Structure 1
Amino acid sequence: MITGMDAYLTQGTYRVRCDWGPPGADAVGPGAAIVAVVDVLSFTTALTVAADRGAEVFPYRWRDERAETFAAERGAVLAVGRSQVSPGRPVSLSPATIRAVARLDRLVLPSPNGSTVSRRLAEAGATVIGVSLRNASAAARWTAGRLPDGAAVAVIASGERWPDGSLRPAVEDLWGAGAFLQGLIEQGVTGLSPEAAAAAAAYRHVEPDVRAALLDCVGGRELVSGGYRQDVEIAAEHGASTVVPLLSGESFRPAPAP
């Protein structure tokens, strides 16, 4: 909880805010009309691929026995770990597996990063959308068209985790957040915090070849070395999706047109 002298951490004097992970969501999310969650490798990329197929997606914090029960109660497929894919369990957090499966109506997508941030914000009453490079432009248009005069937008770059569980800022999420923020700028939305402006500038730096940047960053090299290059290629599909996943209740569904 941000109180008293720590109020500056909320970026509350700015209309457009940006921060990292669950603590950042707690700081800049409250009071924002719309909060965009960004987890490029791979939660929100997987989310947009599933949404393109018309699937309803349930974010879930952890992949454990409770997640199995949660999925079964909702008649949904539970995404397994990438290395656990089998003929009986063909869907994982890998966007490539979500694209390849023959049919997908409901999906439980566990993630300690993007799912955790999304659920945390929704439980606090925020309007949450999922943003990746694939739908950043569409999400910015939707947000600008829906945003009341003077209302605030918060962008949360989910980041990754170090082995000790602490937050590791991930540059791919900075670029994804920046792509959305740059879209807001192009839609005429003003009042960016320095943090939000820096994210937009970071995206503009890699925009000429964002695919190469994704393949060369730590997260991209990790996936490529593990045999998941296609996931990075899908994440680099900037502008490929026009669907904006909106968290309504406990699941993401396509947002209505503004």
Structure 2
Amino acid sequence: MGGDFLQTGFGVRFEWGPAGAAHLAREAACLVVVDVLSFTTTVSVAVESGARVFPYAWRDATAAEFAREVGAPLAVGRSAACEDTPWTLSPEAVRRAPFTPRLVLPSPNGSAISAAAEGLPVVAACLRNGAAVGAWLAAHRYGTAERPVGVIAAGERWPDGSLRPALEDLLGAGAVIAALRRNGRTSLSPEAGQAATAFTGSTDIAADVAGSASGRELTDAGFPSDVSIATEADTSTTVPLLADGAFSAAD
């Protein structure tokens, strides 16, 4: 794909999924990953408690080996939580589990996007910390034509593995972009501008996320509290920054 798809010339750019992240990473100075239900929301909950979160793309034997290497417990699937392994991709589970200073969090969407950055700074954003992330990016001089930021909505997957754009991630990305604009970053690509418009145009973010396909799926699976936590808009001032393989609170 040609340079047109890099959104060249704009300080704030927006794309979808790992492929979009890898493409924008060619010119971006920083990437922001947004996976509202649930990777980046869970990262925000864990990091604000003081934990370091190691993203990993798959929950398999290699994930267990990686967890042993970094000396951290491995989060399990939501339904596999037990007394010995209470940490899962559920933000509610992480919030109520005993504190762990290190946690390996498998996620094929959020972790794959983080990996696509190839050494760039990566920030984990969600609806809980969208305003804080936008302010932090502006304060660190990201979001200009010289130091562009790529905001990546993770989306979900159809059964065949193809990308399913997800409303909650569009809104989460829009929250960050709208905050960047409030902090003086007005050079938005049309894609980024429309993501911000989706966020600012919503009259009830919590209801929109809860009523979305992903929100209904999570509620029907027995995890309505995860949806509630994910829509705690702007309740967190913590900015999780990926460094040395793990997300921790940025200065």
TM-score of the aligned structures, taking structure 1 as reference length: 0.94
In percent, how many aligned pairs have the same letter? Answer: 48
Aligned to 1:104: 100
CA RMSD of aligned residues (A): 1.0
Does 2:135 align with 1:144? no
Aligned to 1:255: 250
State the Cα distance separating 1:30 from its structure 2 match: 2.0
Q: What CA distance in whole angstroms lies between the structure 2 residues aligned with 1:119 and 1:255?
A: 19
Q: What CA distance in whole angstroms lies between the structure 2 residues aligned with 1:80 and 1:37?
A: 21
- Work out which of the residue numbers 142, 149, 156 in structure 2 matches 1:153: 149
Aligned to 1:16: 12
Aligned to 1:229: 224
Secondary structure of 1:70's match? Answer: helix
The within-5 A match list for 1:1-258 is 2=1, 6-121=2-117, 124-147=118-141, 150-206=146-202, 208-256=203-251
Q: What CA distance in whole angstroms lies between the structure 2 residues aligned with 1:104 and 1:201?
A: 38
State the Cα distance separating 1:120 from its structure 2 match: 2.0
| Alignment check: 8 A CA contact 1:30 1:126 kept | no
Deviation digits for residues 155-194 of structure 1 (CA, Å, limit 9, x no counterpart) = 0001111101111111100000000000001001011001
| Alignment check: 8 A CA contact 2:37 2:168 kept | yes
Q: What CA distance in whole angstroms lies between the structure 1 residues aligned with 2:27 and 2:71?
A: 34
Q: What CA distance in whole angstroms lies between the structure 2 residues aligned with 1:77 and 1:241?
A: 24
Q: What CA distance in whole angstroms lies between the structure 2 residues aligned with 1:242 and 1:144?
A: 14
Identify unmatched segments of 5+ residues in structure 1: none
- Relative to structure 2, which stretch is displaced further, 58-67 or 100-109? 100-109
Write out the 4+ residue segments of structure 1 that deviate beyond 2 Å after TM superposition.
Answer: none
Deviation digits for residues 178-231 of structure 1 (CA, Å, limit 9, x no counterpart) = 00000001001011001000100000122x311111110011000000010000
Secondary structure of 2:201's match? Answer: helix
- Relative to structure 2, which stretch is displaced further, 139-148 or 229-238? 139-148
Secondary structure of 1:163's match? Answer: coil
Q: What CA distance in whole angstroms lies between the structure 1 residues aligned with 2:126 and 2:89?
A: 14
Q: What CA distance in whole angstroms lies between the structure 2 residues aligned with 1:140 and 1:103?
A: 28
Secondary structure of 1:112's match? Answer: coil
Q: What CA distance in whole angstroms lies between the structure 2 residues aligned with 1:88 and 1:112?
A: 24
Q: How many positions carry a matched residue from both structures?
A: 249
The letter for the 1-side match of 2:119 is G
State the Cα distance separating 1:125 from its structure 2 match: 2.0
Secondary structure of 1:77's match? Answer: coil
Identify unmatched segments of 5+ residues in structure 2: none
State the Cα distance separating 1:29 from its structure 2 match: 2.1
The letter for the 1-side match of 2:11 is R
The letter for the 2-side match of 1:25 is A
Q: What CA distance in whole angstroms lies between the structure 1 residues aligned with 2:38 and 2:65?
A: 23
TM-score of the aligned structures, taking structure 2 as reference length: 0.97
Q: What CA distance in whole angstroms lies between the structure 1 residues aligned with 2:63 and 2:220?
A: 28
